[in-house]
Amino acid sequence: MSIQRLQSHWGFTRMPFGRDLAPSMLHRHTSHGEAVARITWCVDQRAIGVITGEVGAGKTVAVRAATANLDPSRHVFIYLANPTIGVRGMLTHIVAALGHTRLPQIRPGTTGRRSAGHRTRRTGPPPRAGRRRSPPAG
């Protein structure tokens, strides 16, 4: 049966479960309220939040309800539709969504400023793995 026939049969004037529904039109239940409260807490605390769940559990609905009244000029929302892209893929997507073009080159097993290629007190870049540094002269 086609969507048009279903809409006609049930008397729908619009798609009943479309993504363009206003948050006020969404079904609210206990777990939905808890999810909205947790998302709101993340926003209030300026924390990063990750929402996971089964298909159709209401993740997108909860995010839309929690963020409906937020000022988009003050908050950035990044939707990752495909979590199977891996950590590097997610970071690349986030960096691009924030308006940058590429990630800094970070070597495996390093952290902090040195791993991103920042200069240290020495005059050159961080040493490469497997190389010995010569002792300072003097």
Domain interval for residue 47: 1-71
Q: What is the pTM of this model?
A: 0.53
- My answer on whether 62 and 84 are in the same domain is no
Is residue 129 domain-resident? no
CA dist., res. 43 & res. 36, Å (int) = 11
- My answer on whether 3 and 66 are in the same domain is yes
**What are the pLDDT tens digits along the chain (138 aa)?**
677 887 888 888 777 666 667 767 776 788 888 999 999 999 999 888 888 888 888 888 888 888 888 888 888 888 887 878 888 888 888 888 888 877 666 666 655 444 445 444 445 555 555 545 555 665
Is residue 48 domain-resident? yes
Last residue of a domain, one of 71, 86, 101: 71
Distances (CA, A) of 135 to 55, 64, 77, 126: 58, 58, 49, 15
Count of domains in the chain?
Answer: 2
Residue for token pair 């939040």? 49
